[in-house]
Chain A
Amino acid sequence: MAEVAGTVPREAEQIGLRNQLRSRWKALPEQNRMGISIGVEIALAILLYFVDHSLAVAVLVISGIYWIRRMPAFPWRLGAEALMTILFLVFGPRSFGILLAIAFALFWVPDRYRRFTMPLAALVLAVLYPFYQTKMFTVPVFGVWPDIATGVYMLVFVMMAVGLNIVVGYAGLLDLGYVAFYATGAYTAAWFASLQFPHTTWHFGAVGITPDLPGIHVTIWILLLLAGVITAIFGILIGLPTLRLRGDYLAIVTLGFGEILPQIARNGDDLFGTGINLTNGPNGITPLDSMGFGHTLSHATGGFLPANFLQCCNAKVLGHQIESTDIFFWVAIGLLLVTVFCSMRLQFSRLGRAWIAIREDETAAAAMGIPLMRTKTWAYASGAFFGGVAGAYYAVFKSATFPGDFFFNISVFILCMVILGGMGNITGVIVGAAFLAYLNQEGLANTGSWINTNIHIGSHHPNIDVPLYASGIYGVIILVVMLFRPEGLIPSRRRAAELHEGVHDEPLYDSAHAGAEA
């Protein structure tokens, strides 16, 4: 028996260096572990103090919060939290002290209410962001807080990521051409709210233009919906031939569509040599009409809702001069809320269940009475809808659309957001998308300038243009996520299980019959 015991295979936890180290670490007494951790953290802080003082403070604050969260609630945790908050409120930066107070307060809310209070707090903080953005402390490495225009960019990409999440996260269809929907939405907005078609003059509720301006001008509110619907129809058209493919094949075909569309945009100024100018070619379509609530609504609300976003705002609220970008920011939050709401409702519906079933096992799903093509097409159409709305909104915000905005890397970028945050989980996707969009717009540049000022070898200062390496950096981020946490930062429980154990989905079909529909 002793011999048998000797040959028993090692437990899974013992295999691999990482797991061995982990189990050895866990074998240490609690006190030793705590001592070592705190020691390492202080050493790290001292080390970083010579690079950047604020980074050392950041390390201490983060580890401090980590230990505070493990203290018994009364009186230690409460006391420590109060002390930390007061320290920052007194010695500054005060904005960080306030943020800390809010965060600590939120964690005192009992668990069962937290799923309401957390999103609500996030929403309130987001809505108020224009009022306190300029007053915020400087974050170590990342620098100042993103400005409002970046906020709009982030919200638009979060919206697209939530849309793509329906296709990739729920239904499990790998779509590498999501940029096609973004482009469709943007160009739809451009066609119906600019001078692109000068031979027709048709106005419908548009603001900020003279009544005799040529071209089609539809109010942006209807246009957003229209862009969504047109993009959804476009999604269905793309989906019908492609969705009968599985996995890798689908990915390749969507990749193709993602490449075709920008080319059409680029060469659409002389469509098939007929002289029809659809997209204005590489020059893009600009300017687009402004957005606004119109004079009637504006008067009715006593000017609270601006008639035209671009000519609004002489009001000062809470000491903050409201600008048109702020209005765009708030409307973007509203659009995102609608997107998230729809996405959540769909997740827990008959259709959402069918999507997950298809992702898990197509053959079994079909045998349970789920029409594969139709159900997948609905996923595609809903994903496309939100991509289209987001694209249209961003085009209106920029007042322009160029074919250069719709390259393949945008598709990958949005997919990265979904993967980083956690496929299938809306909170995860929102966080992942917001972070990557921020990096792309401001974060990388800020990080670059931090590196260039603070890191030096002797008197030699480097001069690295970090945003130049954006694609490489995102690639590394995704590699690291896929290696160590394939389910993303905030995963859905289901997806995490699938990614670690694989799904049971070997095809059972005749290839000729795979997509046949009655």
Chain B
Amino acid sequence: MSAVEANGSDDLLVASNLRKEFGGLVAVNNVTFTVPRGKVISLIGPNGAGKTTFFNMLTGVYKPTGGTITFLGEDVTGKPPHVVTGRGVGRTFQNIRLFQNMTALENVMVGMHARMKANLFNSIIRTPFVRREEKAARDRARELLDYTGLRRVSHEMAKNLPYGDQRRLEVARALATDPQLLLLDEPTAGMNPQESAEFTSFVSNLREERGLTVLMIEHDMRVVMGVSDRVSVLDYGEKIAEGSPREVQRNERVIEAYLGKAAVEDMKRQGLS
């Protein structure tokens, strides 16, 4: 924290010149990207633009080929996922990756792993400390399930939950890691418009009630426009635009990336006529 203040910046996360190559393919090409504290940032781009790769580098799942990642003023480049999570980055996955054969409650409790201290030896003895910690974890897991509206299914196996509940459970599990920055990878994929709208207000609440900073990859423009303070656009691994939702919406390169050159020319012609 003090490092941040010393820097005089209010950026929670700074990625500079981040680069990832898979063999000859450049998936992310020298992207510089900041996430200011307390904001909701959206990352958009056509399929294959490198958004998820970018996410995976931020959370330590992939090691960047080049560039640095700074979180809370500390260098976390190439640190393994559990360390990044320990520092305060929680995430969800594009294709839901819950622990299928654990209950919802257990899933959330696994999320608390990094915040708990019980070890092999005192777990066997089950010292008063371990008892207290387990109880606290259980209570907090219940509270998180309440918060995400999953209380009634807390003892269901994750795989038996309906799709929407699975998505929410992923968020609950990510919240259990006690993050400062929450990364959501296509959280509304597969949701119907009403569910998406509910989710939009859920994300706004996260920021307002929990003081979380949110970075999300999202395809649903209604969600993006609804909650984002800033939108960044990736295409072919490069950042092609950044700004408020309105600005990005009108950006020529963005339209081109999504709809092709012809569309841009078409629009220009329409604008002229």
Binds B, one of A81-89, A278-286, A287-295, A354-362: A354-362
Instruction: Give the residue name and chain of the A residue nearest to B86 (CB).
Output: A369
Task: Tell me, rounded to whole Å, the shortest Cβ–Cβ distance linking A256 to chain B.
Answer: 26
Indicate if the CB atoms of A494 and B82 lie closer than 8 Å.
no
In the assembled complex, the Cα of A168 lies from the Cα of B59 at a distance in Å of 29
**Contact flag A370-B110 (CB < 8 Å), given A350-B116, A350-B118, A512-B63:** yes
In the complex, which residues 484-518 of chain A have their Cβ closer than 8 Å to any Cβ of chain B? Answer: 494-495, 497-498, 501, 503-504, 508-510, 512-513, 516-518
Task: Beyond the given A367-B93, A369-B81, please list 10 additional residue pairs across the A-B interface where CB-CB is below 8 A.
Answer: A349-B134, A351-B120, A352-B123, A353-B110, A361-B97, A365-B99, A367-B91, A369-B86, A494-B101, A497-B100
Residue of A346, A350, A366, A371 touching B61 (CB-CB under 8 A) = A366
Residue of B62, B99, B118, B126 touching A357 (CB-CB under 8 A) = B99
In the assembled complex, the Cα of A513 lies from the Cα of B80 at a distance in Å of 8
In the assembled complex, the Cα of A108 lies from the Cα of B62 at a distance in Å of 58
**Contact flag A363-B61 (CB < 8 Å), given A353-B109, A369-B82:** yes
Q: Is B240 an interface residue (CB 8 A)?
A: no
Residue of A341, A370, A509 touching B113 (CB-CB under 8 A) = A370
In the assembled complex, the Cα of A368 lies from the Cα of B116 at a distance in Å of 12
Indicate if the CB atoms of A367 and B99 lie closer than 8 Å.
no
Task: Tell me, rounded to whole Å, the shortest Cβ–Cβ distance linking B108 to chain A.
Answer: 10
Q: Is B124 an interface residue (CB 8 A)?
A: yes
Indicate if the CB atoms of B91 and A497 lie closer than 8 Å.
no
| A307-349 Cβ-contact flags toward B at 8 Å (1 or 0) | 0000000000000000000000000000000000110011001
Indicate if the CB atoms of B118 and A360 lie closer than 8 Å.
no
B: interface residue count bin = 35 or more
In the assembled complex, the Cα of A346 lies from the Cα of B118 at a distance in Å of 11
Q: Is A231 an interface residue (CB 8 A)?
A: no
In the assembled complex, the Cα of A516 lies from the Cα of B115 at a distance in Å of 21
The A-B contact count (CB < 8 A) is: 133
**Contact flag A349-B157 (CB < 8 Å), given A357-B102, A363-B61, A364-B97:** no
Task: Tell me, rounded to whole Å, the shortest Cβ–Cβ distance linking A159 to chain B.
Answer: 16
Instruction: Give the residue name and chain of the A residue nearest to B123 (CB).
Output: A349
Instruction: Give the residue name and chain of the A residue nearest to B76 (CB).
Output: A518
Q: Is A393 an interface residue (CB 8 A)?
A: no
In the complex, which residues 184-240 of chain B have their Cβ closer than 8 Å to any Cβ of chain A? Answer: none
In the assembled complex, the Cα of A501 lies from the Cα of B130 at a distance in Å of 34
Enumerate the 4 nearest inter-chain pairs by beta-carbon distance, A residue then B residue, closest first: A369-B114, A349-B123, A369-B85, A366-B81
What are the residues of chain B within 8 A of A369 when measuring CB–CB?
A: 81-82, 85-86, 111, 113-115, 177
In the assembled complex, the Cα of A47 lies from the Cα of B168 at a distance in Å of 61
Instruction: Give the residue name and chain of the B residue nearest to A365 (CB).
Output: B110
**A-B contacts, 26 listed (Cβ < 8 Å):** A342-B124, A346-B123, A349-B123, A349-B134, A350-B116, A350-B137, A356-B106, A360-B100, A364-B93, A366-B61, A366-B80, A366-B85, A368-B114, A369-B81, A369-B113, A369-B177, A370-B82, A370-B113, A371-B80, A494-B102, A497-B101, A501-B100, A509-B61, A513-B62, A513-B80, A517-B80
**Contact flag A378-B97 (CB < 8 Å), given A508-B56, A508-B61, A517-B80:** no
Task: Tell me, rounded to whole Å, the shortest Cβ–Cβ distance linking B36 to chain A.
Answer: 23
Q: What is the size, in residues, of chain A's interface with B at 8 Å between Cβ atoms?
A: 41
Q: Is A372 an interface residue (CB 8 A)?
A: yes
In the assembled complex, the Cα of A365 lies from the Cα of B100 at a distance in Å of 12
Indicate if the CB atoms of A510 and B63 lie closer than 8 Å.
yes
What are the residues of chain A within 8 A of B118 when measuring CB–CB?
A: 349-351
What are the residues of chain A within 8 A of B85 when measuring CB–CB?
A: 366-369
Indicate if the CB atoms of B124 and A364 lie closer than 8 Å.
no
Instruction: Please list the residues of chain B having a beta carbon within 8 angstroms of any beta carbon in chain A.
Output: 56, 59-63, 78-83, 85-86, 91, 93, 97-102, 106, 109-111, 113-116, 118-120, 123-126, 130, 133-134, 137, 157, 159, 173, 176-177
Task: Tell me, rounded to whole Å, the shortest Cβ–Cβ distance linking B103 to chain A.
Answer: 10
| A437-469 Cβ-contact flags toward B at 8 Å (1 or 0) | 000000000000000000000000000000000
In the assembled complex, the Cα of A353 lies from the Cα of B61 at a distance in Å of 21
**Could you say which of B86, B113, B115 has the most chain A C-beta atoms within 10 Å of its C-beta?**
B113
**Contact flag A360-B99 (CB < 8 Å), given A342-B124, A345-B126, A354-B113:** yes
Indicate if the CB atoms of B80 and A516 lie closer than 8 Å.
yes
What are the residues of chain B within 8 A of A366 when measuring CB–CB?
A: 60-61, 80-82, 85
Residue of A357, A503, A508, A516 touching B110 (CB-CB under 8 A) = A357
What are the residues of chain B within 8 A of A357 when measuring CB–CB?
A: 99, 102, 110, 113
What are the residues of chain B within 8 A of A501 when measuring CB–CB?
A: 100, 159
In the assembled complex, the Cα of A175 lies from the Cα of B114 at a distance in Å of 27
In the assembled complex, the Cα of A361 lies from the Cα of B173 at a distance in Å of 14
Instruction: Please list the residues of chain A having a beta carbon within 8 angstroms of any beta carbon in chain B.
Output: 341-342, 345-346, 349-354, 356-357, 360-361, 363-372, 378, 382, 494-495, 497-498, 501, 503-504, 508-510, 512-513, 516-518
What are the residues of chain B within 8 A of A512 when measuring CB–CB?
A: 63
Indicate if the CB atoms of B110 and A354 lie closer than 8 Å.
yes
Indicate if the CB atoms of A518 and B79 lie closer than 8 Å.
yes
Task: Tell me, rounded to whole Å, the shortest Cβ–Cβ distance linking B56 to chain A.
Answer: 7
What are the residues of chain B within 8 A of A497 when measuring CB–CB?
A: 100-101, 157, 159
What are the residues of chain A within 8 A of B110 when measuring CB–CB?
A: 353-354, 357, 365, 368, 370
Indicate if the CB atoms of A504 and B123 lie closer than 8 Å.
no
What are the residues of chain B within 8 A of A498 when measuring CB–CB?
A: 100-101
Residue of B81, B100, B120 touching A367 (CB-CB under 8 A) = B81
Task: Tell me, rounded to whole Å, the shortest Cβ–Cβ distance linking A52 to chain B.
Answer: 44
What are the residues of chain B within 8 A of A346 when measuring CB–CB?
A: 120, 123-124
What are the residues of chain A within 8 A of B134 when measuring CB–CB?
A: 349-350
Indicate if the CB atoms of B80 and A364 lie closer than 8 Å.
no
In the assembled complex, the Cα of A489 lies from the Cα of B98 at a distance in Å of 28
What are the residues of chain B within 8 A of A361 when measuring CB–CB?
A: 97-100
In the assembled complex, the Cα of A366 lies from the Cα of B60 at a distance in Å of 9
Instruction: Give the residue name and chain of the B residue nearest to A513 (CB).
Output: B63
What are the residues of chain A within 8 A of B106 when measuring CB–CB?
A: 353, 356
What are the residues of chain B within 8 A of A378 when measuring CB–CB?
A: 120
Residue of B98, B116, B119, B125 touching A364 (CB-CB under 8 A) = B98
In the assembled complex, the Cα of A296 lies from the Cα of B269 at a distance in Å of 104
Instruction: Give the residue name and chain of the A residue nearest to B111 (CB).
Output: A368
Task: Tell me, rounded to whole Å, the shortest Cβ–Cβ distance linking B124 to chain A.
Answer: 5
Indicate if the CB atoms of A510 and B177 lie closer than 8 Å.
no
What are the residues of chain A within 8 A of B120 when measuring CB–CB?
A: 346, 351, 378, 382
Indicate if the CB atoms of A368 and B63 lie closer than 8 Å.
no
What are the residues of chain B within 8 A of A364 when measuring CB–CB?
A: 93, 97-99
**Contact flag A503-B102 (CB < 8 Å), given A351-B120, A368-B110, A509-B61:** no
What are the residues of chain B within 8 A of A494 when measuring CB–CB?
A: 101-102
In the assembled complex, the Cα of A494 lies from the Cα of B125 at a distance in Å of 25
Indicate if the CB atoms of B113 and A504 lie closer than 8 Å.
no
Instruction: Give the residue name and chain of the A residue nearest to B125 (CB).
Output: A345
What are the residues of chain B within 8 A of A353 when measuring CB–CB?
A: 102, 106, 109-110, 113
Indicate if the CB atoms of B61 and A356 lie closer than 8 Å.
no
